[in-house]
Amino acid sequence: MRLTDRPTWKALLAHSRAMGESRIADLFARDPQRAQAFSLESCGILFDYSKNPVSAETRQLLVALAEDAGVPALMAAMFEGRRINVTENRAVLHIALRNRSSRPIMVDGQDVMPGIRAILERMRGMAERIRGGIAKGSTGRAFTDIVNIGIGGSDLGPLMVTTALRPFGSPGLRAHFVSNVDGAHLAATLTGLDPETTLFIVSSKTFTTQETLTNARSAREWLLTKLSAKAPAAILVEHHFAAVSTNLEATAAFGIIPERVFGFWDWVGGRYSLWSAIGLPIALAIGFDRFEALLAGAFEMDEHFRNTPLAHNLPAMAALVGLWHIDFLGRPTHAVLPYAQDLLYLPAFLQQLDMESNGKRVDRSGTPTNYLTGPVIWGAPGTNGQHAFFQHLHQGTQVTPADFIVAANASDTLPGHNELLLANCIAQTEALLRGKSADEVRAELKARGMRGEELEQLTPHRVFPGNRPSNTIVLKQLDPRSLGALIAFYEHKVFVQGAIWNINSFDQWGVELGKQLAGGVLEDLKAGKPGPGHDPSTQRLIQHVLDQQVKGDR
């Protein structure tokens, strides 16, 4: 039966008409316990979704939909290692990477845990040797800089986590991340780095990604040019390059020695891979024990997710409230607003996690969906966003549900900053909910001495409609454990939504066409003229770029 034909979907549709009219403030007025009743706490995270147009009936209907759509069954299938990534015929087992229990996890009758533990031990060894200055560069000096070369999941996870855990990093070992094929990214990163003390980690699940291989080759060239007088090329690559990949043949062909290659498995999706050896830069930056704390936080969330009834389940309720907005209230975008500068890259990370997972238009059987699926995810840290796009959140014509994320305790001790940060975060959710009526605006303006036409003209511009939804997510502190739990929370949120929409959240065919066509355009650029088969705009753009290029640049 199609999702939209299910009685549980239809019940929500009918209910949405009634709820669409109600104001969130009235829901609070009717239920003095609402703040508690619509908040959940687990794994060191408070998830307050009370500032959404959701009643007890809404929750019950949403949970009924999730059960009806088979969320518990798909969840069990994932944890059991079944091949739920149907278009690639793969299991989905990022949860195994952080399985801190002694439970085996089987794929095709084989326990994957011994292999995972072996790689983790090798990561520990590498982290200890590099951080302790035991493993050295080709000229005998300890490493001071690590450059991760990767893109997508092989970049965003380690970049986001390493940045988020900045206070736990060691000043003697700086982590850099190069992803963009724009040479400016690598060039800017290498400026000021000492090749003798720089270690490159080439991170690519496939080791075929054009951007990563181009950057890796250029980095190797830079190293060989700078140090050619000091050692032969093979020795330089041996000392200064490591790789994380499932393609061991390609890493060997690049010249990286097996002891410096960390494998992982096809059942780890790129955007779910930071828990694997793709997390090596994290372990190098913050130390392996803290990397393990990150895994432990995620494991705690996994246990909560698989063992908690949906109505009390943090990721499940986040998913259901999100889906309510998207499919029943017509709000297809979602803002991620971390009130933590160190979470700078969280919106970009979640963009890939959510939009690459659930940006799908056909269901698991290949039938186009007749309902909206994954939201547009966007955002930036507060308080910066307040001085940029919050205008739109408060007074724009579109309603954007938002996640406000904040830690009660600051990572830094500069006096006065954390109170300001917390006050702004909490006050923004209050302002979005409460709004400001025309009467309130008039009273304020009158108190300032304004009267008559001027007052009436200004009033509508200063009115806030309010009733704008938000979730607030509070951590005690932004540390490895709570960050692990927070990331797993979002991974499972995406899982639950994808399960209800009956889409495959674990493939990404939508990224292929652009890659394929880039090959053709590249040939045209190299040939110096557009080839046949392009649409007129593309043809003209190729010609224009060629005309604009300074001779000798190609």
Total binding residues toward ligand F6P, as defined by CB under 6 A:
14
Contacts of 489 (CB under 8 A, 6+ apart): 43, 45, 47, 301, 314, 315, 318, 473
Residue 508 near ligand F6P by CB under 6 A = yes
- 387 assigned to active site: yes
**Contact with ligand F6P (CB under 6 A): which of 154, 313, 358, 386?**
154
Residue 204 near ligand F6P by CB under 6 A = yes
Contacts of 449 (CB under 8 A, 6+ apart): none
Residue 153 near ligand F6P by CB under 6 A = yes
CA dihedral sign, ordered 538, 539, 541, 546:
positive
Q: Which stretch binds ligand F6P (CB under 6 A): 106-114, 146-154, 189-197, 439-447?
A: 146-154
Spell out the alpha helix ranges (H) of 308-380.
314-323, 346-350, 357-358
User: Which residue, 243 or 335, has its beta carbon nearer to ligand F6P?
Assistant: 243
Radius of gyration of the chain measured on its C-alpha atoms: 26
3-state helix, strand, coil in the chain (%, to 5): 55, 15, 30
User: Residues 21, 249, 387, 453: which is the catalytic one?
Assistant: 387
User: Which residue, 220 or 468, has its beta carbon nearer to ligand F6P?
Assistant: 220
Residue 205 near ligand F6P by CB under 6 A = yes
Residue 206 near ligand F6P by CB under 6 A = yes
Residue 279 near ligand F6P by CB under 6 A = no
Q: What residues are paired with 338 via a beta bridge?
A: 405
Residue 214 near ligand F6P by CB under 6 A = no
User: Which residue, 205 or 493, has its beta carbon nearer to ligand F6P?
Assistant: 205
Residue 271 near ligand F6P by CB under 6 A = yes
Contact at 8 Å (CB) between 400 and 347? no
Report in angstroms how near the CB of residue 495 gets to ligand F6P at its nearest: 16
Question: CA 63, 68, 71 angle in degrees (round to 5)?
Answer: 75
Question: CA 376, 267, 242 angle in degrees (round to 5)?
Answer: 95
Whether residue 163 is preceded by a cis peptide bond, meaning omega within 30 degrees of 0, is no
Report in angstroms how near the CB of residue 252 gets to ligand F6P at its nearest: 17
Q: DSSP secondary-structure letter at 481?
A: H
Contacts of 111 (CB under 8 A, 6+ apart): 104, 105
User: Residues 417, 515, 529, 544: which is the catalytic one?
Assistant: 515
Q: Find the binding residues for ligand F6P in span 335-374 (CB under 6 A).
A: 356
Q: Which stretch binds ligand F6P (CB under 6 A): 13-21, 106-114, 198-206, 430-438?
A: 198-206
- 446 assigned to active site: no
Report in angstroms how near the CB of residue 409 gets to ligand F6P at its nearest: 33
User: Which residue, 154 or 459, has its beta carbon nearer to ligand F6P?
Assistant: 154
Q: DSSP secondary-structure letter at 535?
A: -
Chain residues that interact with ligand F6P, rule: CB under 6 A: 151-154, 204-206, 209, 212, 270-271, 356, 508, 511
Q: Which residues are tagged catalytic?
A: 356, 387, 515
